[in-house]
Amino acid sequence: MYQIPDLEISVHLAAAAQSEGALLLDIRESVERLSGYPRNSVHAPMSQGFGQCMEQIPRDRDVLILCAAGVRSLHAAVAFRDSGYALAKSVAGGMHAWRALQLPISVDGEDEPALGERYSRHWRLSEVGVEGQRRLLASRVLLVGAGGLGSPIALYLAAAGVGFIRIVDDDRIERSNLQRQVIHRDADIGIKKVTSARAALISLNPEVEIEALDKRLTEDNVDALVAGCDVVIDGADNFPTRYLINAACCRARTPWVYGAVQRFEGQVSVFAPHREPGVAPCYRCLFAEAPGAGEAPNCAEAGVLGVLPGIIGLIQANEVLKLLLGIGDPLIGRLQCFDGLSGRFREVSFRADPDCPDCGAHGAGAAAGVMADWPCTL
């Protein structure tokens, strides 16, 4: 870009000039203005060009052009100068500098400033946008477990703005947890996991509602805990809990996201009983029966690489967001397996069992699946 004398104006001089009648032109996109814009500015998004805008502005008018940081506005100021606007200038530092000086800002709704700043990167995604973010804020999820998998899931769902997160766990924090359960801190040892998790999530994003329930998921309470939730997430570490989740979600026709880790391996899948019965397989279609004693030791017995629950938990969180937003291709009928030692992923496809006692058409009889939950063959 070639040099033009006096092409820039400082933000405080721009504000003074505006108060004396200069036109302040905000060329940011609509999504950027949701977090606030200079009071009495005129919106002319750069992506739409300036032809129509120039037709309505006299050539002898003082035109001050503002973007986010002052880069786009420099290019726009050159375009205006080339079109005969000798007094056109770029506001140095843009909206960032305007905010830093605490100059007057207007917003299009009381809740928009915080939303625009916190979720601006979501709003720039055409698959999410403003409406998608509002959908996340209105969503309700149940997270079973605040441990290795539950930690990254909870942190990223709260950061993403999932409006209501119900966490169920009855364990206390032990020092051995801290190698992988990153939502907790050393100072939290001995307190309830749900208490620690709730404090961490509210500190991260006070806009979301966290319901921390110090209890174990049981046959007596599972239906009530699933009720009213849009998605259920498995952060548990045992088979009985997963079968409880599966049966309850089949009854409620609520989708749920499964994850499991052991040693250096992990796996993720999505079960979607909200879809047409008999089409989307459930957990029992995949794992007809829990393995026998000793066939699938837990992490306390077999060990787990500390980073592995983070990898698997974030894949689960990604699947949750896809389900809540209605985008992408969820892992329905697909078991995604990850080998941490080789760094390779592999998928195993599976189908619904028509005789599955949880989701089958007849609701009775043993499932025909023969896959074992562990080990995950890669």
Q: Which residues are catalytic?
A: 299
Q: Hey, is 123 helix, strand or coil?
A: helix
Tokens of 359: 């989701």
* Structure tokens belonging to residue 119: 């979720």
Instruction: Sort strands 265-271 and 42-43 into parallel, antiparallel or unpaired.
Output: unpaired
> Considering only CA atoms, which of 191, 161, 160 is closest in space to residue 174?
191
Beta bridge partners of 335: 348
Closest of 182, 180, 176 to residue 196, by C-alpha: 182
Helix, strand, coil percentages, rounded to 5, for the chain: 35, 20, 45
3-class state of residue 165 by DSSP: strand
Q: What would the two tokens of residue 225 be?
A: 């805990």
DSSP state of 5: T
CA angle 182/244/218 to nearest 5° reads: 80
220 half-sphere exposure, CB direction, 13 A CA radius:
2
CA distances from 2 to 5, 82, 92 (A): 10, 11, 17
